[in-house]
């Protein structure tokens, strides 16, 4: 069309062929990388390494937003702060009153467990965390929090918020970490149906507001509105944390298993404040020391996240 001369045109065709070849090469390389990342998780170590290296970059990127937030906080007026303080104080007093009851229940529970000769429940420690002002790709189902190895975080710790389970710690750097959400297609969470005690596994669906139960028996007793809690199997999550609510149960004809769609109770899309739960392995019981150790060892690998 607008090619000035034949010599130029032949040169450009050769060049074009070269470029196409290189395009194919790079595209192939990208596809191989994606496959490795998706299937085999071979690049996990590379990712962990680069995450540590990239952390300062994240901190630098975040700093202007942090400045804006702190500026806004310092410009708040006196009266508003006082009101908020009063509100918080009231909320705190209410929670304290509720905690008193819980304390008593915990004591009673411990006594009952002693009577039954059951093993101690896993001790847990909480660590508050906040989301960093960094948006990761929504399709990565990860959030970025402001706690890291310095605060004692390690891979696999459970992360919750006030409404329910959020996910678990994925990659850890010095002062920050990524949390994989329970909605990630790679994530599986052992759950228990609160009403019937049925145990199953909730898989991430890739949608931020949906999980799936895919291996239910056909005659399962499950209704919309039923609440799922963590079962504590796998040892990563303490038992009894609210996870999700059943939305819909499907029993497709010709299939071996019923399928249910459930909605996570935690607001995965709009969380800001999180709690990281640090489970401590139960202390060895007198006379049962080797077994307790076995149990602790069993608890470590946990479920495949």
Partner 1 sequence: MSSRNQGSSLLLLTLCLGLALTVMPLPQVVEPARPYWVAMILIYWNLESGRLRYLGQAFVLGLALDLLTGTLLGQHALGLVILVFLLERFRNRIRFFPPWQQAMAVFVLLLNERIIQLWIILLTDHGWPVWTWWLAPLVAMLFWPWLFLILDSLRRRQRQLRS
What is the contact surface with partner 1 in residues (CB under 8 A)?
2, 16, 19-20, 22-23, 26-27, 29-34, 36-38, 43, 46-47, 50-51, 54, 57-58, 61, 65, 133-140, 142, 178, 185, 205-207, 269-270
Supply 273's token pair: 């404040």
Give start and end residues of each alpha helix (H) in the chain: 6-35, 44-74, 78-116, 289-299
- Count Cβ atoms below 10 Å from residue 249 Cβ, excluding itself: 18
Report the residue number, 54 or 247, with the smaller CB distance to partner 1.
54
Instruction: Return the structure tokens found at 139.
Output: 């399709």
Laid out side by side, the sheet with 164-172 consists of 123-130, 273-280, 158-161, 164-172, 177-181, 142-145
Q: Nearer Cβ to partner 1, position 198 or 305?
A: 305
Identify the sign of the CA torsion 214, 218, 219, 225: positive
User: For partner 1, which is the closer residue by CB, 61 or 112?
Assistant: 61
Least distance (Å) between residue 125 CB and partner 1? 27
Q: Report how many helices (DSSP H) and strands (DSSP E) the chain contains, helices first.
A: 4, 12
Instruction: Between 142 and 192, name the residue whose CB sits nearer to partner 1.
Output: 142
Q: How far is the CB of 61 from partner 1 (least distance, A)?
A: 5
Give the nearer residue to partner 1 in terms of CB position, either 35 or 196. 35
Give the separation between CA 260 and CA 256, rounded to whole angstroms: 13
CB of 94 to partner 1, least distance (A): 30
* CA dist 203 → 94, 197, 267 (Å): 36, 18, 17
Identify which of residues 48 and 239 has a Cβ nearer to partner 1 in the complex.
Answer: 48
Is residue 210 a contact partner of residue 138, using CB atoms and an 8 Å limit? Answer: no
* Cβ-contact 298, 235 below 8 angstroms: yes
Q: Name which of 171 and 230 has its Cβ closer to partner 1.
A: 171
Nearest distance, CB of residue 173 and partner 1, angstroms:
13
* Under 8 Å between Cβ of 188 and 304: yes
- Nearest to partner 1 of 121, 207 (CB atom): 207
CB of 2 to partner 1, least distance (A): 8
CB of 113 to partner 1, least distance (A): 41
Rounded to whole angstroms, the Cα distance separating 37 from 86 reads 50
The rounded distance, in Å, linking the Cα atoms of 127 and 278 is 8
Distance CA 103, CA 121 (A): 15
Distance between CA atoms of 167 and 142, rounded to whole angstroms? 9
Q: How far is the CB of 231 from partner 1 (least distance, A)?
A: 25
Please state the closest distance from residue 267 (CB atom) to partner 1, in A.
10
């Amino acid at each position: 069309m607008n090619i000035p001369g034949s010599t130029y045109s032949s040169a450009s065709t050769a060049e074009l062929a070269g470029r196409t070849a290189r395009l194919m090469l790079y595209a192939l390389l990208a596809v191989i990388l994606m496959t490795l990342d998706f299937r085999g998780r071979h690049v996990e170590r590379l990712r962990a390494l680069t995450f540590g290296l990239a952390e300062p970059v994240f901190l630098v990127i975040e700093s202007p937003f942090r400045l804006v937030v702190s500026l806004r906080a310092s410009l708040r007026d006196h009266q508003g702060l006082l009101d908020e303080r009063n509100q918080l104080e009231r909320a705190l007093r209410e929670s304290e009153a509720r905690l008193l009851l819980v304390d008593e229940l915990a004591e009673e529970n411990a006594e009952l467990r002693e009577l039954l000769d059951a093993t101690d429940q896993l001790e847990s420690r909480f660590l508050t965390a906040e989301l960093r002002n960094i948006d990761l790709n929504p399709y990565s189902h990860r959030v970025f929090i402001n706690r890291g190895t310095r605060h004692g975080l390690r891979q696999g710790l459970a992360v919750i918020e006030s409404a329910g389970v959020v996910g678990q710690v994925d990659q850890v750097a010095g002062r920050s970490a990524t949390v994989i959400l329970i909605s990630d297609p790679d994530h599986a969470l052992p759950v228990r149906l609160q009403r019937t005690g049925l145990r199953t596994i909730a898989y991430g669906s890739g949608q931020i507001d949906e999980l799936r139960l895919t291996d239910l028996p056909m005659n399962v007793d499950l209704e919309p509105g039923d609440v799922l809690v963590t079962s504590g199997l796998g040892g990563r999550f303490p038992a009894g944390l609210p996870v999700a609510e059943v939305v819909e149960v499907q029993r497709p004809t010709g299939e071996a298993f019923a399928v249910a769609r459930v909605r996570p109770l935690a607001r995965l899309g709009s969380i800001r404040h999180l709690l990281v739960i640090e489970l401590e392995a139960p202390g060895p019981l007198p006379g049962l020391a080797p077994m307790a150790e076995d149990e602790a060892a069993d608890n470590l690998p946990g479920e495949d996240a």
